[in-house]
Amino acid sequence: MTENTRADGRLPHQLRPITFRNGIAPHATGSTLVEWGNTRVICAVTIEETVPKWMQSQKITGGWLTAEYSMLPYSTLGRKARDISKLKLDGRSQEIQRLIGRALRAALDLELLGSRTVWIDCDVLQADGGTRTASITGGYVALGLALKKLRAEGKITTQPLKVGVAAVSLGVVADIPLLDLAYTEDRDASVDLNLVMDDSGRFIELQASGEESTFSTDQLQAMLALGQTGVREILAIQKAALAD
């Protein structure tokens, strides 16, 4: 990588191409296939007309949103064993699905959702970096499609979506801050950062860490500036996908 261009020809501030193919899972309430560079994730929403038992026992009103995330065995260069074969959920998968749930609950007014549970399933078909941010970004589109269907069916009359939500990965590679890391960049990065924001420019979550390294305030600010610009671009792509 030179100072100005990356292995795939992008500049440091450029996103990989992002497209959404809606309706990929016909039996889901809402679904999309997000294709983000060479990363591909199916995001599907199922809505149940009930809430978890812990909400019922604590008499908590409104609804709930939860997420599940998995990488299919053929999503990586070497076969990835299914979690069921190990009889427990992979720690990374557990952490990512909790992140997806937190991020997308921030988009919803759970009271307006009513006494329902929203399940968001994110299945990685092909991994080339940024699968968690693609899952959040695609999960939001699938959620928007599902809620649009509920309104069309008359099950809700008020839109529960409060804000738009999108996510993007960032990092420092060879001392250069980069937006939207592909796998080889993520592998070589001295700093990783995952950024989740809403369409008002507010932060929902920041996950930043040095990979056997440290990073400066200037590097953090440079990554955040790239990330904020990237999120605005992604939000516009999501909006177009939901308008189709």
Asked if 43 contacts 23 with a C-beta cutoff of 8 angstroms, the reply is no
Structure confidence at residue 3 as a pLDDT band (50, 70, 90): low
Q: What local confidence, expressed as pLDDT, does residue 7 receive?
A: 84
What pLDDT, in 10s, does the model give residues 29-73?
999 999 999 999 999 999 999 999 999 999 999 999 999 999 888
What pLDDT, in 10s, does the model give residues 159-174?
999 999 999 999 999 9
Q: What local confidence, expressed as pLDDT, does residue 37 receive?
A: 97
Domain limits, the chain: 18-243
In a 3-state reduction of DSSP, which class is residue 219? helix
Mean pLDDT of the chain: 93
Structure confidence at residue 211 as a pLDDT band (50, 70, 90): confident
Asked if 18 contacts 234 with a C-beta cutoff of 8 angstroms, the reply is yes
Q: Does domain 18-243 have CATH number 3.30.230.70?
A: yes
Query: What global pTM score does this model have?
Result: 0.93
